[in-house]
Amino acid sequence: MKTIQVVAAVIERDGKVLCVQRGPHKFSYIHEKWEFPGGKVEVAESNEDALQREIYEELELRIQVESHIKTVRHQYPDFCIEMAAYRCRIRGESPCVQVRLKEHLAFQWLSPCEIEFDRLDWAAADLPIISALKS
């Protein structure tokens, strides 16, 4: 089974992180699940470049990638992902920065202690990242 290289941004702002809800998907196990935003790494693209590109394409936010949190390898029934998660900040942040959803259904800013596994229906691959944020 093919492994897909993906990146995830844990975007921090005022002690909270950005959580987004996926749109509809043919696979029920990721359909409308909550996740940290990000996406696939393209050929010859660094993880940092992929994150900056994906976050701008999906949310129209310019981010600064700060540090690696964790890399998760997760086997879904139809594919496997290797997801590298990074702490990020919004570049040139001002009080009027807006998240513009282009591919997601909803977003929430939550503190790490507010992110509960049972409060939002999270994608399974994101759960180890949540655990890393809480430790």
Cβ atoms 36, 124 nearer than 8 A: no
pLDDT greater than 70 at residue 35: yes
* Average pLDDT over every residue of 27-43: 93
Question: Residue 73 pairs with which residues in a beta bridge?
Answer: 82
Q: Give the start-to-end residue ranges of the domains of the chain.
A: 3-134
**% of the chain with per-residue pLDDT over 70:** 95
Angle at 106 between CA 104 and CA 112, to 5 degrees: 110
Q: Residue 99 CB: number of other CB atoms within 10 A? A: 18
* pLDDT tens profile 90-127: 997 666 678 999 999 999 999 888 887 667 899 999 99
What kind of fold does domain 3-134 have according to CATH? Nucleoside Triphosphate Pyrophosphohydrolase (3.90.79)
Contact 9, 51 (CB under 8 A): yes
Across the chain, mean pLDDT equals 92
pLDDT above 80 (res 54): yes
Determine contact, residues 91/70, Cβ cutoff 8 Å. no
Measured distance CA(60)–CA(102) in Å, rounded = 8
Give tens-digit pLDDT for 113-122.
888 766 789 9
- How far apart, in whole angstroms, are the C-alpha atoms of residue 124 and residue 69? 17
H-assigned helices in the chain: 47-59, 127-134
Q: What is the DSSP letter of 41?
A: P
